[in-house]
Structure 1
Amino acid sequence: MAKKLIRRTTMAVLAPAMALGATVGLASAPASAAVWNSCDQWASTTLDGYKLYNNIWGSGAGSQCTWANSGTTWGVWANHPNTGGIKSYANSTKTINKSIDSLGRLTSNYNVSVPSSGAYNTSYDIWDTDHQYEIMLWVNHTGAVGPIGSWQATVSLGGHNWNVYKGTNGSNQVFSFLRTSNSSSGTVDVKPILNWLAHTKGWMPGSETIGDVQFGYEITSSSGGLNFTTNNLTVSGG
């Protein structure tokens, strides 16, 4: 069963979809030498306190394989057709289970290598435990993809400048923070972002418990096969 690992948000697609047959292939070299790898739709494993998901959840998906050398070093090979709609959200998940107000800190370091083609975003996906609120932090994006909802503000929070969007996917509130320029590495201080949502804007209660902090690649198209590599990822909070 997919349950919590499914990405339930649908990004706005900013260009018409074009039908293109996807070539089914196998993962490239890094996967074959990894500690763990799988091309199964809902494959997952736990390494070093992080849970890795292949997570091919969208309709019309092609083939995809996720590999990992550790919970913090992993990657994805994906060959999804050049059509609209999110196909997958391969990710590494760290469980926090603390309320916004009780969190002393919540920080993350990321370092990725991503393709210059295709349509995707590299993002954090942060959930409360009862899935009423979803907070997305896009550190980079390429191609015809966009967030749910409408633009609210441009803010400087957690060490980055963001364009903020607010909307709903029909199941939960979605707050999307899109970095104003693409980044392949950096540190995000998530706690000030949560405080801004809860206490500056009042869009969610400070008593809300943050459950999972996910980081991964939300892929709409990667025709021909593209590699997404997480060179390093750490999430720490308490």
Structure 2
Amino acid sequence: MSAVVLAATGGAVLGLIQPAPTVHGCHGTYAVSLPASPSTFALDATSCTSVVSAGSATTSAPPAFPTAPPLTADGHLFESSQRFAQFQTGGYAMSNDEWGTGYNTQTLWVNSSQNWGIHATQPDTPDVKSYANIGVNLHTSLDSLTSVTSSFNETNPVGGSWESAYDLWLDGTGIEVMAWTYESGGVQPLGQPVGTVTLGGSTWTLFVGNNGHNPTYSFVREGNENSGTVDLLSLLKYLEKAGYFSNPVLSSIQYGWEITGTGDVEKDFTMNEYSAAIGTS
């Protein structure tokens, strides 16, 4: 600390600052025994006493890192035999959708949006039993779309009555447009054939019908394919130009297997790759 000295000199008051003494350090010893015992130490030959309180050492657990979800008994990310089981991943929803009547057993399994499928055991009765599918919801008017494309790669069983098909829903569930890419067992879409047309590099037969709730338009491809890319916008634009509807909203795109029967034996259906994309103006 510095001292201030005031001195009078010829009527003036001078403030003189006296420098503080220089401290060259201190020397002491410290002894303590724990827990919470009085402690003594000497500082520059002066004895001092203090009390040291014992503390408890604390540790915290290391931060938890995310772990992968447990796999099913069969080694899948997800598996369920519930009729309407659904699992979302990769921006898509995979659904078992066993919606029909007279169904038996169907199991949905999922590893990713690029690797999923079903084990289906369905009786050979006339009604559709299920539509296991991968889907994405949209809300885009037809006239604002510049492209709607989808690619798939699937492994299908031999035998059974079923088809692989896109299901496009317009104006919510007001209009249904299907595009069949593979047909087995002689199944036919709802409605009557009204003509054949070549769109997006494939030849299709168009069926027009009504399921009692909404109109249905089904394009059945000439020849089966296990993989490919479909120009879905060309199908929608064809229907619009033909006067079946005007600028509806594309609400969702689904793709999967619509199963009528498997002879009551298990059939395995697998999706190896899938994508759907739209472009807008």
Q: TM-score range by the shorter chain?
A: 0.7 to 0.9
Deviation at 1:205, TM superposition (A): 0.9
Q: Give the equivalent residue in structure 2 for 1:37.
A: 79
RMSD: 1.3
Contact 2:163 2:259 in 1 (8 A): yes
Q: Give the equivalent residue in structure 2 for 1:186.
A: 228
Distance 1:229 1:187 in 2: 17
Q: Give the equivalent residue in structure 2 for 1:20.
A: none
Q: Give the equivalent residue in structure 2 for 1:68.
A: 110
**Matched letter for residue 107 of structure 1:** T
1:111 corresponds, among 131, 135, 153, to: 153
Deviations 1:39-96 (A, max 9, x none): 1111111111101111111111010001111123211110001211100001000122
1:209 corresponds, among 245, 249, 259, to: 249
- Choose between structure 1 and 2 for higher RCO, CA contacts under 8 A separated by at least 6 residues: 1
Distance 1:80 1:133 in 2: 28
Q: Give the equivalent residue in structure 1 for 2:163.
A: 121
- Matched ranges for 1:10-21 at <5 A: none
Distance 2:186 2:205 in 1: 17
Taking a change above 3 Å as real, the CA distance of residues 81 and 31 of structure 1, as seen in their structure-2 partners, is farther
- Higher Rg: 2
Q: Give the equivalent residue in structure 1 for 2:271.
A: 230
Distance 1:64 1:214 in 2: 19
Which segments of 5 or more consecutive residues in structure 1 lack a partner in the other structure? 1-29
Contact 2:87 2:110 in 1 (8 A): no
Contact 1:36 1:67 in 2 (8 A): yes
Number of residues paired by the alignment? 207
Distance 1:134 1:72 in 2: 25
Q: Secondary structure at the match of 1:108?
A: strand
Q: Give the equivalent residue in structure 2 for 1:101.
A: 143
Q: Secondary structure at the match of 2:238?
A: helix
**Structure 1 stretches (4+) deviating beyond 6 angstroms?**
none
Contact 1:96 1:237 in 2 (8 A): no
1:49 aligns with 2:116: no
Taking a change above 3 Å as real, the CA distance of residues 31 and 110 of structure 1, as seen in their structure-2 partners, is farther
1:138 aligns with 2:173: no
2:199 corresponds, among 157, 167, 183, to: 157
1:79 aligns with 2:121: yes
Indicate the percent of aligned positions where both proteins have the same amino acid.
35
Deviations 1:149-193 (A, max 9, x none): 111111111231111110101100100000111111100011111
**Matched letter for residue 268 of structure 2:** N
Q: Secondary structure at the match of 2:112?
A: coil
TM-score by length of 1: 0.84
Contact 1:44 1:54 in 2 (8 A): yes
Contact 2:183 2:224 in 1 (8 A): yes
Contact 1:31 1:68 in 2 (8 A): no
Which segments of 5 or more consecutive residues in structure 2 lack a partner in the other structure? 1-71
Distance 2:251 2:112 in 1: 21
Q: Give the equivalent residue in structure 2 for 1:219.
A: 259
TM-score by length of 2: 0.71
Distance 1:195 1:144 in 2: 28
Distance 1:104 1:129 in 2: 18
Contact 2:169 2:176 in 1 (8 A): yes
**Matched letter for residue 81 of structure 1:** P
Taking a change above 3 Å as real, the CA distance of residues 216 and 96 of structure 1, as seen in their structure-2 partners, is same
